[in-house]
Amino acid sequence: MRNYWSFATAGEIILGNGSINSLGEIIGKFKARNVLIVCDPGIKQAGIMDKALGILAEAGLNVIAYDQAEPEPPVCKAIECYQFAKNQNIEVIVGLGGGSSIDLAKVVAVLLTYGGDPKQYFGEFKVPGPVLPLIAVPTTSGTGTEVTPAAVLTDEEANLKVGVSDNYIRPAVALVDPELTLGLPPHITAHTGMDVLCHAIEAYTAVEYRYLPVTGPAIYQGTYELTDTLALKSIELAAKSLRLAVEQGHNLQARADMALASVLAGMAFSNAGVGAAHALAYPIGAECHAPHGLLVGLLLPHVMEYNLPVQQERFARVAVAMEENINGLSVKAAAMAAVNGIKDIIADIKMVSRLRDLGIQEDLLPLLAERTLAVTRLLRSNPRRLTAKDMEGILRNAY
């Protein structure tokens, strides 16, 4: 039994409309002159990179920009970006974009500090010490990577998602400007928003920290009061505003709610952990390359239903946070209201709700279930044990 918890997040969180304009000032605090920006071609096209470059030029900084990040970045992109920046005396890195650009920036921060190959840092606690200061500027509200200790890459040779997970790669600053998300198309808003809900709900209903079946240090520690508070507030905000953010992309209040929900969920899950929806999404993602948020969102209600018997009271509180009507319901029925509430959101935002619609063959389900067993780092914080058969059952329900 574990008898204490710890909490880590980004060094500083700055959140608000127009906060991007303080980027030069923030870098000034690090006494840095030479800055690397990591972003992708879409961010460049949207004019967000030029906006950031303008702000940094005004601050008199020397900036080089790597704009070739891509979704689920392959390991070779991290090497390419590292080679691009290696001899430039970089002192601060800005990860500007969706989760992929920020994750790439995290790995490059490790490489610029310690050298070597990305592969030597895969896993937990493999980063030797502090890395170059990283400023994470998200342009989606989803992964929470602006506050988390994880960076996910794709190992192309093994066709596997691989991750670096270490508190040393939590960004020094999370600079969250909801205005940067105004131009996101509805489907990306929907997918990333479901990732937020999945982080918050899996973090809130994970195993309690005292009973996490791990000895020794763990980044994902199970639930405790602090992560509970953050997760519940995140659920409340996302349940209230995700539909609006999808349907009215320029509704700044809905965008601001989702940006805050993403940060709060990131703070919660990057300490408490996530569960079976995230674990199952790993092998499925490698198979069909569907967006992460779509996959975890699609799986979420089915995983909730599986976990429901051991977390009824918590799921009932999720229903309350979602403003579901639970008057007169038993605890079990109230918990089920949370599951149905998530299904309603998925329908309302017109997201794919069945694995069959992603081109996955039904006879592949047992193999996908089997492969999920290897994702022990996530499964150990799931509140209910899962055999391969149990996971296959969840996948069949989601098919």
Torsion 14-246-231-223 (CA) sign: negative
* Residue given tokens 């794709």 in the structure block: 154
Question: Tokens standing for 351?
Answer: 């997201």
Q: Residue number with the shortest CB distance to Fe ion?
A: 195
Stretch that binds Fe ion, among 168-176, 193-201, 202-210, 230-238 (CB under 5 A): 193-201
Nearer to Fe ion, 195 or 392 (CB): 195
The total of other beta-carbon atoms located within 10 Å of residue 224's CB is 18
The least CB distance from residue 202 to Fe ion, in Å, is 9
Q: Return d(Cα 244, Cα 201) in angstroms, integer.
A: 20
Nearer to Fe ion, 197 or 316 (CB): 197
Nearer to Fe ion, 72 or 195 (CB): 195
Hey, which residues does 37 pair with through a beta bridge? Answer: 65, 94
Between strands 150-155 and 12-15, the pairing is unpaired
The least CB distance from residue 199 to Fe ion, in Å, is 6
Stretch that binds Fe ion, among 94-102, 192-200, 212-220, 258-266 (CB under 5 A): 192-200
Nearer to Fe ion, 59 or 286 (CB): 286
Stretch that binds Fe ion, among 77-85, 195-203, 215-223, 336-344 (CB under 5 A): 195-203
Question: Tokens standing for 394?
Answer: 């969840």
The least CB distance from residue 115 to Fe ion, in Å, is 30
The least CB distance from residue 338 to Fe ion, in Å, is 19
The total of other beta-carbon atoms located within 10 Å of residue 159's CB is 11
For helices 331-348 and 292-307, angle between their N-to-C axes, nearest 10 degrees = 160
Stretch that binds Fe ion, among 111-119, 163-171, 190-198, 334-342 (CB under 5 A): 190-198
Nearer to Fe ion, 231 or 337 (CB): 231
The least CB distance from residue 296 to Fe ion, in Å, is 5
The least CB distance from residue 135 to Fe ion, in Å, is 22
Question: Tokens standing for 249?
Answer: 């992309």
What is the C-alpha R_g of the chain?
A: 20
Nearer to Fe ion, 36 or 196 (CB): 196
User: Is there a contact between 144 and 292 (Cβ–Cβ < 8 Å)?
Assistant: no
Stretch that binds Fe ion, among 32-40, 56-64, 108-116, 187-195 (CB under 5 A): 187-195
Which stretches of 148-217 are assigned E, i.e. beta strand? Answer: 150-155, 160-165, 173-176
The least CB distance from residue 194 to Fe ion, in Å, is 9
Interface with Fe ion in residues 242-301 (CB under 5 A):
none
Question: Tokens standing for 211?
Answer: 């009973």
The least CB distance from residue 295 to Fe ion, in Å, is 9
The least CB distance from residue 195 to Fe ion, in Å, is 4
Between strands 12-15 and 173-176, the pairing is parallel
Residue type for 59, please? A
The total of other beta-carbon atoms located within 10 Å of residue 367's CB is 14
Number of residues engaging Fe ion in binding (CB under 5 A): 1
Applying CB under 5 A, among 103, 146, 179, 195 the residue interacting with Fe ion is 195
Q: Does 202 bind Fe ion (CB under 5 A)?
A: no
Report the Cα 227 to chain-centroid distance in Å: 15
Nearer to Fe ion, 103 or 195 (CB): 195
CA separation, residue 360 to residues 215, 285, 298, 350 (Å): 37, 11, 13, 20
Is residue 386 left, alpha or beta, with left meaning phi > 0 and alpha meaning psi from -120 to 50? beta
Nearer to Fe ion, 13 or 280 (CB): 280
Nearer to Fe ion, 91 or 195 (CB): 195
Stretch that binds Fe ion, among 166-174, 194-202, 309-317, 387-395 (CB under 5 A): 194-202
Which positions touch Fe ion (CB under 5 A)? Answer: 195
